[in-house]
Structure 1
């Protein structure tokens, strides 16, 4: 089992920039695109993800220190440290059940497609860590392998269900033809955010408030362009962090670069996806009477949209403010602040890019996530101790918005605690 886990972790450590091209090559051959076209698509997709990761790295490297400076400047004193999705993913992969869950989840996905229970073929193997996190949660509470497998499958089924439901919106709003986004965090934040967004759109007065990137650009000219919006929001974040003029300008330019470069990286990735998507559609039309099948990929494809990034950047200081004022919250947001674009991707799409409605919905969604992450802290800390990872300096409890503040995983936690108390 140790050798199997080590082998699996070696492959996964290569990251999506290597795993996805291989998966796309295999899928292209299955759908008979020909080796050359499948190879070119796979390599193009790998290059696209390299670009996306570079831009996300730029976002993380600038937002992380800014958030830390905000915390220090405003004297926030919260006892649970948000270790972010990288820490949560590492804990999940270090779980004893991780190695067995990858083939199990693959098999479940294929079975659901055969049974016509899902239209999504989830090839984003790296993001299976979200399913594994549910299994790890079940295992740390009950100590049962079988229960852990059940928890992972339940999380996966819920994610695929949301991905299927959101796929038409993903294709129409984001222009991702034949693609669904079964990323565990994006799917899990959707139910609350979409419901709140729908309710906001019914409130007299507020329902008439509209601010899409296009209308902002039309009204404010050059200052309404996504690049300039990123610069302005970055400057605001820099000022809140107490940076000097040089630091303020640096983070402003960096956020402007994120807004400009992310859509271009996604475009490169889509160049590789289109031949595979068309081949899959043709293959299925010939053999299954036109049955639709979506290729499931990382929600990074959607986060480059100007409305998503604008909403997410505004939610960073709001999240820190919520952490301070919400009674009962103990989580200090930090590691997952740069992941907010993933949480709101479906919410922004469901609101058709309306930044006002998306921001209100996102605020409510983040508030509830902080409470769930607080409640999840003890289990999250147990997982870290079980994996023999070092606790962050000065921390006694850890959590994360991505795993601990994730609705699906929090429900899994409550289910596991109930199961353990009864059985």
Structure 2
């Protein structure tokens, strides 16, 4: 078991840009792609992941200091450190049973494919840590009641349920993702899409307002304001705004503006490499499935970055930075100082999917749901801090606590793990879980109906 754990940790240590392409190459060979085509697609996907990671890091390094400067100017001080998703991933993988999540995910995926309960082949095994993150919280909550062995078993049951929901979410979003991204045969298996289910009823209300029920994506914005909606110009303007809010000097403000313009200009460029890598893979997988299972089309589930060419996502992300900072200052119950997770993709992507890229509704939804990330991040701080100290995964000062201001699928993650608080007489997490499941069912039905209508047209 220690050898297997070491092998898994080694592969994970290579990073998503290497791990995911390896999975894609293996999958390509299984569906009988030519070796040169499978290797080429895998390497191109690695290039795309690396390029997107570089751009996100560049954007984070550009905006985070400005956000920190804004907070310093207010004099705000909150006790919980924001470690971002990378720190949460490191802490999650330090759980002794983490590597067992791989076979659980693969077995469930295969079973659901065989019994025709999903059409998604999840190639995003690197993000299995999202299930581990939920499992860690379940163990912390249930251990006093079920003991060590019982809490671990409970954690894996909850993780299995999450895996099923991830596959169903990937199925229901596939047609909309293909329409929005222009990439056929792929979908997103990341749990950040779970937030779209709770956004759905609110978006239904917003769509009833005539002013909000019109197409208003980045292209429509460009038609309205012309050159001011061009990526480089818009990025420059947003950089100027951030520089002013951070009270930067003129030189630093202009530098920030150029860097923001650079990021927004290059995001769509990198996305083209995702298309180049994924098109032959999705075609080969579809051909293979048509031969094995008549009438079925298999799609490949991936992490979110292949959606990164959508300008609407980045406009919503940038908008959410000052909004999240503002909420952190005054939100009752928040003890988390947002910093490392301030570039909150997990807020913008579900808003993008549920609205179909309508910028105005995306901004409204991001405003409504930004506080959720702060509350959930605060709630998870004790578990993540305890695991970090126990395993030594992250070095913390005495009395210091750590969490994340951009926990993926925050409502689902909180509900799935904290529902066991009913054992302590707390029923609010159970109510939240029921609300989320009901929203998910109605959202699933809506997207399934939409997909059928589009297929018949």
The alignment's TM-score, normalised by the length of structure 2, stands at 0.86
Q: Is the 8 A contact 1:370 1:401 kept in 2?
A: yes
Report what 1:11 is aligned to.
11
- Structure 2: give runs of 5+ residues left out of the alignment: 427-457
For residues 195 and 390 of structure 2, what CA distance do their matches in structure 1 show?
A: 27
CA offsets per residue over residues 176-206 of structure 1, 9 Å max, x none?
211110112x22322223332222222x465
For residues 190 and 105 of structure 1, what CA distance do their matches in structure 2 show?
A: 22
Secondary structure of the residue aligned to 1:337 is coil
Q: Kindly report which structure 2 residues correspond to 1:170-249, keeping only aligned pairs within 5 A, or say none.
A: 170-184=177-191, 186-202=192-208, 204=209, 207=212, 211-249=216-254
Deviation at 1:67, TM superposition (A): 1.9
* Distance change (3 Å), C-alpha of 1:405 and 1:171: closer
Secondary structure of the residue aligned to 1:385 is helix
Matched, 1:256 2:258: no
For residues 409 and 247 of structure 1, what CA distance do their matches in structure 2 show?
A: 39
Report what 1:398 is aligned to.
402
For residues 214 and 334 of structure 2, what CA distance do their matches in structure 1 show?
A: 30
Deviation at 1:171, TM superposition (A): 0.6
Report what 1:126 is aligned to.
126
CA offsets per residue over residues 363-415 of structure 1, 9 Å max, x none?
11112222222222222222222222445568632221343871221112213
CA RMSD, aligned part only? 2.1
Matched, 1:370 2:370: no
Q: Kindly report which structure 2 residues correspond to 1:63-74, keeping only aligned pairs within 5 A, or say none.
A: 63-74=63-74
* Distance change (3 Å), C-alpha of 1:23 and 1:360: same
Work out which of the residue numbers 361, 382, 389 in structure 2 matches 1:357: 361
Q: Is the 8 A contact 2:120 2:167 kept in 1?
A: yes
* Distance change (3 Å), C-alpha of 1:172 and 1:335: same
Work out which of the residue numbers 343, 348, 351 in structure 1 matches 2:352: 348
Deviation at 1:4, TM superposition (A): 2.9
Report what 1:81 is aligned to.
81
Report what 1:306 is aligned to.
311
For residues 207 and 237 of structure 1, what CA distance do their matches in structure 2 show?
A: 27
- When structure 1 is superposed on structure 2, of 82-91 and 319-328 the one drifting more is 319-328
For residues 270 and 407 of structure 1, what CA distance do their matches in structure 2 show?
A: 31
Q: Is the 8 A contact 1:235 1:251 kept in 2?
A: yes
Deviation at 1:225, TM superposition (A): 0.8
Secondary structure of the residue aligned to 1:289 is coil
Q: Is the 8 A contact 2:378 2:403 kept in 1?
A: yes
* Distance change (3 Å), C-alpha of 1:381 and 1:199: farther
Report what 1:323 is aligned to.
328
For residues 254 and 397 of structure 2, what CA distance do their matches in structure 1 show?
A: 30
* Distance change (3 Å), C-alpha of 1:384 and 1:181: same
For residues 292 and 395 of structure 1, what CA distance do their matches in structure 2 show?
A: 53
Query: How many correspondences in the alignment?
Result: 419
Deviation at 1:215, TM superposition (A): 2.2
- Structure 1: give runs of 5+ residues left out of the alignment: none
Q: Kindly report which structure 2 residues correspond to 1:250-289, keeping only aligned pairs within 5 A, or say none.
A: 250-289=255-294
For residues 393 and 246 of structure 1, what CA distance do their matches in structure 2 show?
A: 36
The alignment's TM-score, normalised by the length of structure 1, stands at 0.93
CA offsets per residue over residues 297-319 of structure 1, 9 Å max, x none?
11011133111111110111011
